[in-house]
Structure 1
Amino acid sequence: MTALRTPPDTPATCGDLLRTWRQRRHLSQLELSSQVDVSTRHLSFVETGRSKPSREMVLHLADHLDVPLRDRNQLLLSAGFAPVFPESSLHSPQMLAVRETLRRLLAGHNPYPALVVDRWWNLVEANDSLLLLIGGVAPELLTPPVNVLRLSLHPDGITPNILNHGEWRSHLLSRLRRQVALTADHELADLLTELEGYPCDQAEEEVHGPGEVVVPLRLRIGDTDLALLSTVATFGTPLDVTVAELVIESFFPADEATADWLRASAASS
């Protein structure tokens, strides 16, 4: 008796991927077709494979669907075209200007903490002031690649120093959930599952103080309570996958006492 073989998984077609991205953006075929000035009939044919899209059409649709550069390359490959967006190592010669820009930004932000992470929240660069916040964490959490979300929420990370742990955890997990929903990245989904499993002795809810307009990070370093606000920046009009996925997070003091402590600590280090 011949054993039945399970057929191999069929690779997703360009139409399959485009339909998935359209649905992920909560757009109907009619809504997308009106945005890109393509008939609904033609868009339907592309998604079902009855019509082969041109390279320009794939990129046009990907642009309107806000598909990340990494996934635009995958769309092109699935349609039979070569990728157009390079993925360069930050240590390569052509990335020298990017590296220097990042280091200037980080150094210029001292004495306040700032860092750069990649798509998976792995630490790429940090300024000296960040070291003021991560003293005493488990050494294994500082072994490269250092994941800043794991460093923030792991019980052996900076969690014991976070006064509003439940609120900050909720903030970080919400950011990660949105990222997973937007990208469908399996590594990010696995990271989310891991982080959701970490213990938290505070309710994971929003507990804002009076007059606050953003979620602060409240830390206790030694006998000093600190309050920090963060901003996020990215490179404009990136054409390289690596550059497109870099995120610069800068922390600012939320009160004068925190500013004084950071300035004094940086001066004495």
Structure 2
Amino acid sequence: MQNESISQLGPLLRQLRQLRSKSQEEVARASDIAHNYYGEIERGKREPARATLLNIARHGLNLTVNQTNLLLRAAGFAPLPQVLSSSEMARLYKIVEAYLNKMAPYPALVVNQFWNVLKWNNQLNSAFGLSLERISAPQRNWLRLLYDGNGPLRNAFVEWDEFSRYQLALFQRSTLGLQSEPEYQALFYNLQKEAGFERAWQESYPGQADLFMGREWAIRVPGALDGGIFRCRLVQTSFDQYSQLLALTFFPVDPATEEILSLLPTE
């Protein structure tokens, strides 16, 4: 590793750790390395082996493949492969399907690294008045659906401004290192056309996601004439480091919401 690589690695490692809201001690403990040794890596005083850096990325920081490769390249190491085999993808999709079925009657969806919606359960459509199967794949992006001024999601969330900033913060965190990708740039270009996006983007930052963790969100019941509301918490679940798929599930916070969700159509 060259000295130039060391100087690049330390600040990047610190940034990724801070995005995870973790202390040096927490990362070192989870990575099974000495606290002082980890601190010296961040300060550019130590040159970690590739295996050590992978251990920090996987166990200490729970990074995606793209984020791990940022670290590896900064340290002068070869990046990890990012393509799953067809058999691995088939196995992963079975896991995704099983997860979505298990979540019923709670609304859930699975997005890829650019937040394109890949899979969802019928409860998601019913809870938010969506018809995702009728939306073409290029348009079926969770952020684009959220910011669509004519779509149901903008009206569904009572605290839409705050929820949209929460989702942007999560997106910024999960796409760190992908800003130069054509798909990212195309998504950003399309989102800029939507009302409220540019202001929300400027006001959002990755660490902001932690401020919203565990918060209850009020959601309007689709088609309800009496202004019915149900309340949920949004939980994010990662499937594995390589696929970079993320599940978003809305869990009820009270018996009334549990009952509303159980009565929503499932087809």
TM normalised by structure 2 equals 0.64
Runs of at least 5 residues in structure 1 that lack an aligned partner in the other structure: 1-11, 47-51, 201-212
Q: Which letter does structure 1 place at the counterpart of 2:14?
A: R
1:264 corresponds to:
263
Q: Cα deviations across residues 217-236 of structure 1 (Å, max 9, x unaligned)?
A: 31141125231413424247
1:59 corresponds to:
54
Which structure shows the higher helix fraction? 2
CA distance 1:219–1:93, change in 2 (3 Å): same
1:37 corresponds to:
37
Q: Which letter does structure 2 place at the counterpart of 1:144?
A: A
Aligned residues: 231
Q: Which letter does structure 1 place at the counterpart of 2:107?
A: P
Separation in structure 1 between the aligned mates of residue 229 and residue 136 of structure 2, nearest angstrom: 26
3-state SS of 2:265 partner = helix
3-state SS of 1:87 partner = coil
Q: Cα deviations across residues 8-40 of structure 1 (Å, max 9, x unaligned)?
A: xxxx94641442232454599999896262684
Separation in structure 1 between the aligned mates of residue 117 and residue 63 of structure 2, nearest angstrom: 23
1:227 corresponds to:
230
Q: Does 1:174 align with 2:173?
A: no
Residue pair 1:154, 1:195 contacting (<8 A) in 2 also: no
Separation in structure 1 between the aligned mates of residue 15 and residue 70 of structure 2, nearest angstrom: 17
3-state SS of 2:68 partner = helix
1:247 corresponds to:
246
Q: Which letter does structure 2 place at the counterpart of 1:173?
A: R
CA distance 1:162–1:196, change in 2 (3 Å): farther
Of 66, 83, 96, the residue aligned with 1:102 is 96
**If you compute each CA radius of gyration, which structure gives the higher value, 1 or 2?**
1
CA distance 1:195–1:109, change in 2 (3 Å): farther
State the Cα distance separating 1:57 from its structure 2 match.
Answer: 4.2
Of 137, 148, 162, the residue aligned with 1:144 is 137
Q: Which letter does structure 1 place at the counterpart of 2:235?
A: V
Of 72, 77, 83, the residue aligned with 2:79 is 83
Residue pair 2:65, 2:80 contacting (<8 A) in 1 also: no
CA distance 1:29–1:219, change in 2 (3 Å): closer
CA distance 1:17–1:61, change in 2 (3 Å): same
TM normalised by structure 1 equals 0.64
CA distance 1:73–1:250, change in 2 (3 Å): same
Separation in structure 2 between the aligned mates of residue 170 and residue 100 of structure 1, nearest angstrom: 34
Residue pair 1:22, 1:28 contacting (<8 A) in 2 also: no
Runs of at least 5 residues in structure 2 that lack an aligned partner in the other structure: 198-213
Identity, in percent, stands at 25
3-state SS of 2:44 partner = helix
Separation in structure 2 between the aligned mates of residue 58 and residue 178 of structure 1, nearest angstrom: 24
Q: Which letter does structure 2 place at the counterpart of 1:116?
A: V
Separation in structure 1 between the aligned mates of residue 122 and residue 62 of structure 2, nearest angstrom: 35
